[in-house]
Amino acid sequence: MTGRPKIDGVLETCLYCDDVPATRAFYERVFGFTAMVAEDRIVAMDAGKGHVLILFRRGGTTAPVPVGGSSIPPHDGAGPQHFAFAIPAAAYGDWKRHLEDEGVAVESEVDWPSGGRSLYFRDPEGHLGELATPGIWSNY
């Protein structure tokens, strides 16, 4: 092999939460995500083909976690984090109405100079979510 090995994309997005059950219920209700793994310290949710949204209990992964004869190194996060979900351009208005119908405030909307649109909302933990249409980045 020559050069750098290929990356297929970002697989997991992780959010650290004080109230994992409430945050899980939000993503199940508003986005229809389902849990693939649900334990006290972690809920891994199916966020679409090849995408996983992981909700970690804040402080619940500060020690190595044994897995299959090895371990996952410690990690944690604090404060509001940001993430974006990709949506089709034609679904933008439908998503805006759906969030409003679910009682989720749309905090901001941006029409990007490069094309594409985004709308921003907060989950129960205060994390800043974004729904973004194609065109906001040169590779999307």
Confidence (pLDDT) at 106: 98
Residue type, 125: E
**Domain annotation for the chain: domains and CATH numbers:** 1-60 (3.30.720.120), 80-140 (3.10.180.10)
Are 5 and 45 in contact by the 8 Å Cβ rule? The answer is no
Are 106 and 121 in contact by the 8 Å Cβ rule? The answer is yes
What are the tens digits of pLDDT across the range 72-131? 999 999 999 999 999 999 999 999 999 999 999 999 999 999 999 999 999 999 999 999
Confidence (pLDDT) at 2: 75
Task: Bin 32: left if φ > 0, else alpha if -120 < ψ < 50, else beta.
Answer: left
* In the predicted structure, residue 5 carries a pLDDT above the cut 90: no
Q: Look up residue 54 and give its two tokens.
A: 């992981």
Confidence (pLDDT) at 6: 87
What are the tens digits of pLDDT across the range 19-30? 999 999 999 999
Q: Mean of the pLDDT values across residues 31-37?
A: 98
Confidence (pLDDT) at 1: 61
Give the whole-angstrom CA distance, residue 66 versus residue 126: 30
pTM: 0.92
Give the whole-angstrom CA distance, residue 123 versus residue 138: 27
* In the predicted structure, residue 48 carries a pLDDT above the cut 90: yes
* In the predicted structure, residue 38 carries a pLDDT above the cut 70: yes
